[in-house]
DNA sequence: GTCTATATTTCGATAGAC
DNA sequence: GTCTATCGAAATATAGAC
């Protein structure tokens, strides 16, 4: 038996270390960008020697790709909030709430995604052309059905989706600017609630769904 | 006379080279980020030897700071579109048009700004705390006057400004994603017009100004 | 003012002891 | 599996001829 299956203990250590590295990488990539991030800094934040990173993730690119995939999958799960209702106010309202909650809980993931797309999506272009394109086509059709049923104004579905993405992700990607304009303090629980309601209210009125 | 004033010829060459370098730097910083950009690549794009960059801009940081300042000043000029009217539909509509036009003409500058803010504004934090904070306070007061006069719904002014920034800048910062969803082609003149009208329509309806 | 050549530093990645 | 030490490549920045 030349190959020994890894024991549970080892698998636990691996899972724990990978999680530590991914969490540190998300933070460092968000704060410094891909080019500005260093494996040494990620290792320091994770509390591991630099060589261990190369043991779990062969290259910097591989580690980065995993980080980008993670936030993308979180967003895709939130998309289900739009389904299961024939009321656009409810469906889009729930989607806004889910996206705002993600902006609050995962600002770093959102920033890494934004940075990746701004730089031409060199690593995840295939996701844009397959998963995202398919998802978008499905929601465009859904919005057209809502419009046809007279439950909302005849807006351009793509432009509505862009507005939803832009407005919700702005609270993650530009949270530093928002904090500065908020007197240097992060938004409080109440302020997050107000922001979510303000976004919902303005957009739902804007598309005639309220 | 130990100091000779620079001759006009020399000043012209300096202005020309600085402009060449700044234009190349904006493009490279936008595509690669600060950390990913190299002075060598900026020099190649500008068509100058690398050492010349260090002659005109002592450090990479100094060159970067000039690029960020440029887009910030362009945006501040567009802000005047909101002034000189007591009709929010006209003032905010004109501001949206101006911001959309900037997103179209200066996508790289917008990306460099977004990247800078996402990374915690290490270089232009002072601008956020002075110029931007003052500008924002002035527009918040203006929106409050519009609300008081009954010309628009009582929305939270800060959240409206965030929505304006997010929605318009999304067309610059995420233009690669938008292009991919547009079949891999840049938005046409007509599509830019449609996008601008869609943004104006949804936001102005959303705040009860239409 | 401009450019070639190079000094100096730093990074990604790996070898090899444990 | 883990960690120290280090290699080779690439970056910023500068020295010095022209």
B115-134: average pLDDT: 95
Tokens of B164: 């304006």
A57: number of Cβ within 10 Å: 20
Closest CA in chain A for residue B196: A159
Show pLDDT as tens, one digit a residue, over chain A (210 residues): 343 444 455 578 888 999 999 999 999 999 999 999 999 999 999 999 999 999 999 999 999 999 999 999 999 999 999 988 999 999 999 999 999 999 999 999 999 999 999 999 999 999 999 999 999 999 999 999 999 999 999 999 999 999 999 999 999 999 999 999 999 999 999 999 999 999 999 999 999 999
Which domains, ranges and CATH numbers included, belong to chain A? 1-58 (1.10.10.60), 68-206 (1.10.357.10)
- pTM across the whole model: 0.94
C-alpha B23/C-alpha A100 separation (Å) is: 36
Q: Within 13 Å of residue A133, how many CA atoms lie on the same side as its CB?
A: 15
Largest Cα–Cα separation, chain A: 68
Taking CA A16 as the corner, what is the angle to CA A69 and CA A23, rounded to the nearest 5 degrees? 45
Q: Note whether B177 contacts A: Cβ–Cβ < 8 A.
A: yes
Among B118, B134, B178, the residue to mutate for chain A (most A Cβ within 10 A): B118
Please list every residue in chain A whose beta carbon sits closer than 8 Å to the beta carbon of residue B111: 118
How many angstroms separate the first and last alpha carbons of chain B? 67
In whole angstroms, D16 C1' to A77 CA is 61
B173-197: average pLDDT: 98
A186: number of Cβ within 10 Å: 12
pLDDT of B10 strictly over 70: no
What are B72-112's pLDDT values in tens digits? 999 999 999 998 899 999 999 999 999 999 999 999 999 99
- Predicted local distance difference test score (pLDDT) of residue A84: 87
| Residue carrying the six token digits 């006057």 | B145
C-alpha A93/C-alpha B23 separation (Å) is: 42
**Which B residues in the span 19-58 are in contact with A, Cβ-Cβ below 8 Å?**
30-37
B7-33: average pLDDT: 86
- Predicted local distance difference test score (pLDDT) of residue A11: 76
Q: Within 13 Å of residue B137, how many CA atoms lie on the same side as its CB?
A: 11
All residues at 6 or more sequence positions from A36 whose CB lies less than 8 Å from its CB, including other chains? B33, B34, B35, B36, B119
Q: How far is B123 from chain A (nearest CA, A)?
A: 13
How many angstroms separate the first and last alpha carbons of chain A? 68
- Predicted local distance difference test score (pLDDT) of residue B2: 41
């Amino acid at each position: 038996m030349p190959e020994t299956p890894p024991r549970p203990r080892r698998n636990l250590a691996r899972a724990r270390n990978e999680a530590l590295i991914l969490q540190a990488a998300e933070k460092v990539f968000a704060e410094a960008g891909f080019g500005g991030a260093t494996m040494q800094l990620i290792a320091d934040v994770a509390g591991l020697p630099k060589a261990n990173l190369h043991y779990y993730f062969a290259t910097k690119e591989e580690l980065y790709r995993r980080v980008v995939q993670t936030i993308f999958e979180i967003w895709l799960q939130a998309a289900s909030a739009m389904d299961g209702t024939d009321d656009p106010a409810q469906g889009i309202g729930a989607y806004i709430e889910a996206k705002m909650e993600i902006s609050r809980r995962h600002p770093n993931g959102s920033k890494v995604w934004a940075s990746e797309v701004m730089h031409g999506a060199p690593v995840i272009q295939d996701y844009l052309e397959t998963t995202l394109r398919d998802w978008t086509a499905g929601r465009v059709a859904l919005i057209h059905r809502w419009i046809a049923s007279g439950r909302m104004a005849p807006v351009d579905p793509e432009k509505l989706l862009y507005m939803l993405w832009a407005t919700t992700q702005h609270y993650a990607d530009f949270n530093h600017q928002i904090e500065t304009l908020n007197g240097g303090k992060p938004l409080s629980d109440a302020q997050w609630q107000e922001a979510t309601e303000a976004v919902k209210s303005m957009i739902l009125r804007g598309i005639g769904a309220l």
